[in-house]
Amino acid sequence: MHHQQTNNESPTGRVKRVARMALEATADELLHAQAHVFHHALAHVGSMGLKCAIQLGIPDAIHAQGRPLTITELASFLPVAPTKSPALRRLMRMLAHTGFFSVEKDPNGSDEHAYSLTPNSKILLKDSPTSLASCVLFCLDSTVLAPFHFLAPWLQADQPHIPFEMSYGKPVFEMTGDDPAFNRLFNEAMASDSCLAMKSVVARCKDAFQGVSSLVDVGGGDGTSARAIAEAFPSIKRIIVYDLPHVIATVPKSPRVEAIAGNMFEHIPPAQAAFLKLILHDWTDEQCVKILKLCKEAIPEREDGGKVLILDIVMNASSENSATMTEMQLFWDIQMLCIAAGKERQEHEWRKIFFEAGFTNYKISSLGTRSLIEVFP
């Protein structure tokens, strides 16, 4: 609406007109603020809709047919009750809007919309080597979500137990040892993440592994990262997967990959290089320094090729990161605060723990939301 001042407008009229314009602007701001608040308050709806799509196997059903599917067709390939087709249509409408599926006219000529995969749903295919389906299911598991209800009480309480411990009475890595189902969910998520992450590392950071003859994967889980390194770098003759006993029990046999059980806070097997993928963000600075000191003891001096390779988040490491990537880093930071007492670090925070652990130099190579950090003794 446009307001024009007339030549005979009185001072009182002008004040009223300006006040009316301010009120209209405020009302517009309030509407935008309302949408912003509810966008975040209802963010779990999109997340749980994504989880539902994975549980039902929607991406896999579309992929298996090799063509766009209508709701009628999709329902026939899914374990969905016939009476729930209208609800499935509403779910797909939301997931298409959030970028997980694209919508087009039915190629067969019906009046229904047909849905096809996008790059965002292709990395959710369960049989894909780069699938993140297990990661999503872990992040949205009730065991992982429950501690967030304790975030406000934790901030108000002057006590050391993090929200996860307030929720379950034990740390997350004690829970993985005590609960086989949760341990399996965690290991599957870490393996799923490793498949995708290591493709980027191998493709873009080959130089970091050149000249390395032996490597210990500290906290290496089921050995997914170690096997990817073994396949990509035949010159690395010995690769050790090092983790807790209940984790090492899940490591399959693989050429040049050896599984050793132990505690990274007590000892790390010697190798020319130590590799830590998403390990240090789980721990406090003091705990990270302890782990890094043991890594330094396990590797030779720099002139003999000794180094520590860290695949983790470096906050704001690249100016090319999109708003979505930056937001994801911030979300991971609060996830670590609630679940594992760790944090995502900026470069100066990484530098501090490297130097406290006795290292002299480092090099950061950005990989989107994460970075590969080479740390030298």
Question: Residue 333, Cα to own-chain centre: how many angstroms?
Answer: 10
Burial class (CB in 10 A: 0-12, 13-18, 19+), 276: buried
Q: Which two tokens stand for residue 66?
A: 């090799």
Residue 68: C-alpha distances to residues 81, 98, 111, 124 (Å) = 21, 18, 14, 17
Which one of 2, 161, 281, 348 is the catalytic residue? 281
Q: Parallel, antiparallel, or unpaired for β 345-346 and 361-367?
A: unpaired
| Residue 248, beta-bridge partner list | none
Q: Is 281 a catalytic residue?
A: yes
Q: Are 226 and 239 in contact (CB under 8 A)?
A: yes
Residue 144 CB partners (closer than 8 Å, separation 6+)? 138, 339
Half-sphere exposure of 163 (CA within 13 A, CB side): 21
Whole-number Å distance between alpha carbons of 113 and 126? 25
The catalytic residue positions are: 281
